[in-house]
């Protein structure tokens, strides 16, 4: 039951679930995960992700009502940020310009695009502001990181910015140092793997979802010529191939499952193929960490491991030999993204941070960087 007003509702939509949490300034008061079965989602197949908004919204409201929460309890609502134009790190006000960018989905369709829309709908009912925090499009890269090797193609920054930045700041706090004073390699290991390098309080480079290590269901970097031949083989339509690369690759492609616990059980039962593939995953993540360490000229304070795979002591043991020569290793298992979202909203509510808008951020950054914010 609610303890009082001044609460923040945080919403994190995923492909087959919607997580939400209610937070006080001291921590979580209520957390829920709403699972969406394939039969329920089938009605939205082939449609824009935002078409799911009303369906998910009613489920959230039902859960809130049954738990005894009224709209008047909320001081702010915050959602996971989606595939927006390149933005600086921070907390952003959900406004019409943001919602239009997500409707157009110029950078792609993804469940995270629902975060701002869901937060905005509930915030309107509550008469408060809606925010997103560190969306996946956070871009703090140095300019040389954008060069790809082909003038027709520029590297673009998309990664697990919310958890990556949050964990980097948690590590800094634990060390009683400022985030800005540290040089870090942060490895987020979830469905996809993001290996990022942090200097002077900025995430100056990272692999994107189409580069670097494979993940639980994502392909990472692939041999370009072989992929080109596959594209023109006639075996797949464009949508089918993109779906294969983005959600049916990695561990799923090789082993038929992305469940790390299941894979480790197979290895324990003597499955040599499962062992080889998991070794390859640790190998690829280690190689990427070495590349990011090179960005800092080898002067790294810590390698930070996070994400769901960091819960596995056996997988961490596989990975450590590849990275512990770089710097001491710190482990922050899981991805407490709801807490990170709520923290961002509270920083604004407490006056510790000024909420940004995507319009003013794009205008300011365009003066200094060659971003195409209208892509």
The 3-class SS string of 186-255 reads EEEECCCEEEEEEECCEEEEECCCCCCCCCCCCCCCCCHHHHHHHHCCCCCCHHHHHHHHHHCCHHHHHH
Q: What predicted TM-score, i.e. pTM, was given to this entire model?
A: 0.88
Using a 10 angstrom Cβ sphere, with 0-12 exposed, 13-18 middle and 19 or more buried, the burial of residue 232 is exposed
At 77-101, the pLDDT tens digits run 999 999 999 999 999 999 999 999 9
Backbone angles phi, psi at 88, to 5 degrees: -70, 160
Among 69, 25, 29, residue whose Cα is nearest residue 349: 25
Helix (H) or strand (E) holding 92: strand 91-93
At 227-261, the pLDDT tens digits run 999 999 999 999 899 989 988 999 999 999 999 99
For position 362, what pLDDT does the model report? 61
For position 374, what pLDDT does the model report? 40
Among 186, 268, 12, residue whose Cα is nearest residue 260: 268
For position 366, what pLDDT does the model report? 52
Helix (H) or strand (E) holding 127: none
Helix (H) or strand (E) holding 132: strand 130-133
CA distance 260 to 199: 32
CATH topology of domain 162-333: Nucleotidyltransferase; domain 5 (3.30.420)
Output Rg (C-alpha) for the chain, integer angstroms.
21
For position 364, what pLDDT does the model report? 56
Q: Which residues is 303 bridged to in the sheet?
A: 185, 329
Among 215, 312, 306, 311, residue whose Cα is nearest residue 265: 312
For position 11, what pLDDT does the model report? 98
For position 110, what pLDDT does the model report? 87
For position 365, what pLDDT does the model report? 56
Query: Does the fold of domain 162-333 match that of domain 7-140+337-366?
Result: yes
**Low-confidence spans in the chain with pLDDT less than 70:** 1-5, 361-375
Report strand pairing: 184-189 vs 193-199: antiparallel
**Helix axis angle, 260-268 to 272-295, nearest 10°:** 130
CA distance 285 to 319: 8
Tell me the domain boundaries of the chain.
7-140+337-366, 162-333
For position 1, what pLDDT does the model report? 42
For position 363, what pLDDT does the model report? 57
For position 246, what pLDDT does the model report? 87
At 309-359, the pLDDT tens digits run 999 999 999 999 999 999 999 999 998 899 999 999 999 999 999 999 998
For position 163, what pLDDT does the model report? 94
CA distance 200 to 186: 14
- For domain 7-140+337-366, give the CATH superfamily: ATPase, nucleotide binding domain (3.30.420.40)
Among 160, 149, 173, 116, residue whose Cα is nearest residue 306: 160
């Amino acid at each position: 039951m609610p303890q009082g007003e001044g609460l923040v509702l945080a919403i994190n939509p995923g492909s087959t679930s919607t997580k939400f949490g209610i937070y006080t300034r001291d921590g979580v008061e209520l957390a829920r995960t709403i699972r969406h079965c394939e039969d329920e989602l089938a009605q939205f197949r082939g449609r824009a992700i935002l078409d799911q908004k009303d369906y998910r919204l009613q489920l959230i409201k039902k859960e809130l009502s049954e738990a005894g929460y009224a709209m008047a309890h909320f001081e702010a609502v915050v959602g996971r940020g989606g595939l927006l134009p390149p933005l600086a790190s921070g907390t952003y006000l959900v406004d019409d310009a943001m919602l239009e960018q997500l409707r157009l989905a110029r950078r792609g369709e993804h469940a995270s695009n629902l975060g701002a829309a869901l937060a905005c709908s509930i915030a309107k009912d509550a008469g408060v502001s809606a925010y997103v925090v560190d969306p996946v499009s956070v871009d703090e890269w140095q300019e040389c990181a954008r060069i790809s090797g082909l003038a027709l193609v520029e590297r673009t920054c998309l990664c697990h910015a919310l958890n990556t930045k949050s964990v980097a700041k948690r590590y800094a706090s634990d060390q009683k140092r400022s985030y800005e004073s540290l040089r870090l390699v942060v490895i987020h290991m979830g469905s996809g793997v993001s290996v990022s390098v942090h200097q002077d309080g900025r995430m100056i480079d990272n692999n994107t979802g189409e580069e670097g290590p494979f993940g639980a269901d994502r392909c990472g970097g692939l041999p370009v010529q072989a992929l080109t031949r596959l594209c023109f083989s006639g075996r797949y339509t464009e949508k089918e191939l993109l779906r294969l690369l983005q959600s049916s690759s990695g561990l799923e492609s090789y082993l038929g499952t992305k469940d790390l616990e299941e894979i480790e059980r197979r290895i324990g039962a003597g499955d040599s193929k499962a062992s080889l593939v998991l070794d390859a995953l640790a190998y690829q993540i280690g190689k990427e960490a070495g590349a990011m360490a090179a960005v800092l000229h080898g002067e790294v304070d810590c390698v930070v491991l996070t994400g769901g795979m960091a819960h596995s002591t056996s997988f961490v043991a596989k990975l450590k030999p590849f990275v512990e020569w770089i710097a001491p290793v710190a482990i922050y298992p899981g991805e407490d993204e709801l807490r990170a979202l709520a923290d961002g909203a509270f920083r604004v509510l407490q006056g510790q941070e000024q909420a940004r808008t995507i319009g003013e951020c794009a205008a300011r950054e365009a003066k200094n960087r060659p971003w195409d914010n209208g892509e």
